[in-house]
Amino acid sequence: MATEAVLVEEHPDVHHQRKIAMWTFLGSEVLLFGSLISTFLLFRNRTLGGPTAEDVFDIPFTSISSFVLLMSSLTMVLAHHSATRRDWRQMRVWLFATAFLGLTFLAGQVFEFTVFVEDGLTVTTSPFGSSFFLLTGFHGAHVAVGVMMLLSLAFMSMSGKLHPERGMNVELVGLYWHFVDIVWIAIFTIVYLLQV
């Protein structure tokens, strides 16, 4: 049987389908984080006598982990650049670097959360706590999914199973990763910097 398939007459954008789909999905995600941030802004001062933003936030620490996440966007760009040059070995190096930076950020978030809990701020302490952990938790989950996709790409590439023309490819994961990064810039500004 033939191995090639031509499904449709070609529309000029037919090769960009997955990219259009990813952009559409990210557009939807904007509203998700928008609603989470709105919830946080509504509850930012409802601390019920529990810890306030000033009490718990450690701006220097979070600045460093934010810097780490921002740098991961740089390595993501380099991974994509290597992929376009079809330099798969270098692409894997940058993918692992991006995943490592993402994991570092997540480790920072886990550490930060444990400190907050020790300071007496949990999801049940106050609406402030509920909305803070929901927002940053959703973002952390997005980073975790991104790390999984990065590692999948890297390992699939190592075993020669990465087919750029189907499923996820470096460009799509890159779009997602940059989006999650940009959301963190908004969160870091609104939730951390503006509250202390």
Nearer to another protein, 15 or 85 (CB): 15
- Interaction between residue 20 and another protein (CB under 8 A): yes
User: Minimal distance in Å, beta carbon 15 to another protein?
Assistant: 9
Q: Which residues 6+ apart lie within 8 Å of 7 measured at CB?
A: none
Q: How far is the CB of 39 from another protein (least distance, A)?
A: 7
Nearer to another protein, 64 or 110 (CB): 110
By CB under 8 A, is residue 54 in contact with another protein? no
d(CA 97, CA 79): 9
Residue type, 51: P
Q: Which residue of 60, 86, 118, 166 would you call a contact of another protein, by CB under 8 A?
A: 166
- Non-local (6+) Cβ contacts of 116 within 8 A are 51, 56, 122
Residue 168 lies near another protein (rule: CB under 8 A): yes
Q: Which tokens in the block code for residue 104?
A: 């570092």
Q: Residue 133: exposed, middle, or buried by beta-carbon count in 10 A (0-12, 13-18, 19+)?
A: buried
The 110-139 site mask, x for binding another protein (CB under 8 A), equals: -------------xx-xx-xxx--x-----
Q: Rounded to the nearest whole angstrom, what is the least distance from the CB of residue 63 to another protein in the complex?
A: 27
**Cβ 98 vs Cβ 124: under 8 Å:** no
Report the C-alpha gap between 119 and 112 in whole angstroms.
Answer: 11
159 binds another protein (CB under 8 A): no
Six-digit token pair at 154? 């890297």
Which residues sit at the interface with another protein, rule CB under 8 A?
Answer: 1-11, 13-14, 16-17, 20-21, 24-25, 27-29, 31-32, 34-36, 39, 42-43, 46, 48, 123-124, 126-127, 129-131, 134, 152, 161, 166-168
